[in-house]
Amino acid sequence: MYAVIDAGGKQARVQVGEQLDVELLNAGPGDEVSFVPKLVVDGDRVVTERDPLEASSVTGRVIGLAKGPKIVGFTYKAKARGRRRYGHRQWYTTIEITGIDLPGGASETAEPQVPADSQEETSAAIAD
């Protein structure tokens, strides 16, 4: 199952468990964010109608902030010795998609991740 979401004026194709950078959101690390999908594909079922899409949601968890690549600009004025060099680096919010919910019972969610240390302790406890 995958969905197309609109985040920060740009569209992105997302699946559960995927991480992506979107325009800067007003949310801190660990916060839950929700998006309204533009398109949802579930196997052979494609949902593009407005009413089912407004009832569905794509949820994600904020991982942190990231900076994009450095963009260097240069301007000059001919015959006047006017030159200026400037740079810009865009901030992005990194999110991990945790679930895609459709009306009518179809949904996909990510299983909570358990650290590897606790998995080893659990398997050792079961073996004893």
39-75 confidence digits (pLDDT tens): 999 888 899 999 989 999 999 999 999 999 999 999 9
Look at residue 103 in the predicted model and tell me its pLDDT: 80
Q: pLDDT tens-digit profile of 7-38? A: 989 999 999 999 999 999 999 999 999 999 99
| CA distances, 115 to each of 16, 77, 121 (Å) | 19, 58, 10
CA 12 to mean position of chain CA atoms? 8
Q: Is the distance from CB of 99 to CB of 77 less than 8 angstroms?
A: no
Range of the domain at 18: 2-127
**Position 54, amino acid:** E
**Number of domains composing the chain:** 1
* Predicted TM-score (pTM) of this structure: 0.75
pLDDT of 128 over the 70 cut = no
